[in-house]
């Protein structure tokens, strides 16, 4: 058999290896606890890109982080809403080298929280989202049975200028295992309209739905291809 390539033909430069979902999941599995910050000024500054998980209380943020990192108790998930009360950071990267950070943020909208605490947290969140310099992406978790609520909308407005400047956004409709196909499709279309074309996916920690695509996306956000000359 003869090779279609002539032996004296110049060898093409090897293409940058595309990362597979399995590799992205292996990378997420390296997650380790970095720090917890009760207030914004306690958050250590970083050079590496950070991805924030935001959403209403009980939407499934901590469970999603545990599922994505394939670690049962990395982020503290609970049936009691309002469980996550500080900003928790998790470092990612092989061989102990941190190349990205995940931030689990406290949920908003939990009715039983005293009003003053609610307002304080909304300010902390808004400050974080507006001022965190290394913020590369936001994953907003939405329970599709409630849809995108007023508080989610306010948050989207807060980050709108940054989205226009290149910040990434993924809206995950969580607990998708609780929806039938028709309900899931309806929830997807409504959320897509409400986020004005932003990326929206179904996610179920229980059924591992959306896991591979989300893992790959988080890798791509934090490891952008260098712009071609
Ligand atoms: N059926 C189902 N339940 C889920 C899923 N993800 C999360 N849950 C449940 O939803 C509840 C809340 O999950 P958490 O991950 O603690 O939610 P959170 O958004 O971190 O909540 P806060 O920290 O209070 O803001 C828990 O009882 C989880 O088991 C899912 O994909 N499917
Ligand atoms: Mg939580």
4 has pLDDT over 70: no
Residue 213 CB neighbours (<10 A):
16
Residue 198 CB neighbours (<10 A):
16
Question: 79 CB less than 6 Å from ligand 1?
Answer: yes
Residue 105 CB neighbours (<10 A):
20
Say how far residue 161 (Cα) sits from the centre of its chain: 19
Q: Where are the beta strands (DSSP E) in 19-167?
A: 32-37, 50-55, 87-92, 100-104, 135-142
201 has pLDDT over 90: yes
pLDDT reported for residue 2: 44
What confidence tier does 226 reach under pLDDT thresholds 50, 70, 90? confident
Q: Indicate the range of 14-18, 101-105, 221-225 predicted with least confidence.
A: 14-18
pLDDT reported for residue 118: 76
Report yes or no: 42 and 124 within 8 Å, Cβ to Cβ. no
Ligand minimally distant from the alpha carbon of residue 55: 1
Which strand ranges, in their side-by-side order, compose the sheet holding 168-173? 32-37, 87-92, 100-104, 50-55, 135-142, 168-173, 199-202
Tens digit of pLDDT for each residue in 132-163? 999 999 999 999 999 999 989 989 999 999 99
Domain covering 21-221 assigned CATH 3.40.50.300 in the classification: yes
HSE-CB for 61 with a 13 A CA cutoff: 29
pLDDT reported for residue 1: 44
229 has pLDDT over 80: no
Tens digit of pLDDT for each residue in 107-139? 888 767 777 777 777 788 888 999 999 999 999
| Distance linking the first and last C-alpha atoms of the chain | 38
Tell me the CA–centroid distance for residue 229 and ligand 2, in Å. 42
Considering the chain, what percentage of its residues have pLDDT values greater than 70?
86
Query: pTM (2 decimals)?
Result: 0.89
CA distance 144 to 175: 8
Mean pLDDT of the chain: 87
Gyration radius from the chain CA atoms: 19
48 has pLDDT over 80: yes
| Alpha carbon separation from 128 to 73, 123, 169 (Å, rounded) | 25, 8, 15
CA distance 194 to 140: 13
Question: 83 CB less than 6 Å from ligand 1?
Answer: yes
55 has pLDDT over 80: yes
Tell me the CA–centroid distance for residue 39 and ligand 1, in Å. 23
CA distance 193 to 146: 15
């Amino acid at each position: 058999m003869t090779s279609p390539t002539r032996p004296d033909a110049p060898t093409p430069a090897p293409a940058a290896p595309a990362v597979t979902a399995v590799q992205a999941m292996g990378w997420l599995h390296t997650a380790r606890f970095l720090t917890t910050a009760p207030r914004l000024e306690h958050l250590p500054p970083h050079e590496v890109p950070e991805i924030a998980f935001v959403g209403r209380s009980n939407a499934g943020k901590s469970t999603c982080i545990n599922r994505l990192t394939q670690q049962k108790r990395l982020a503290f998930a609970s049936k009691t809403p309002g469980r996550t009360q500080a900003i928790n950071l998790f470092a990612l990267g092989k061989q102990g080298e941190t190349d990205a950070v995940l931030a689990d943020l406290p949920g908003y909208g939990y009715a039983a929280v005293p009003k003053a605490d609610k307002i304080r947290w909304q300010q902390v969140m808004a400050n974080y989202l507006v001022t965190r310099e290394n913020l590369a992406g936001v994953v907003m978790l939405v329970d599709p049975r409630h849809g995108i609520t007023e508080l989610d909308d306010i948050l989207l407005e807060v980050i709108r200028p940054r989205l226009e400047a290149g910040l990434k956004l993924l809206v995950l409709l969580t607990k998708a295992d609780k929806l039938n196909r028709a309900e899931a499709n309806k929830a997807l279309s409504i959320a897509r309209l409400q986020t004005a074309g932003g990326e929206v996916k179904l996610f179920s920690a229980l059924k591992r739905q959306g896991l591979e695509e989300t893992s790959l996306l988080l890798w791509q956000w934090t490891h952008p291809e260098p712009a071609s000359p």
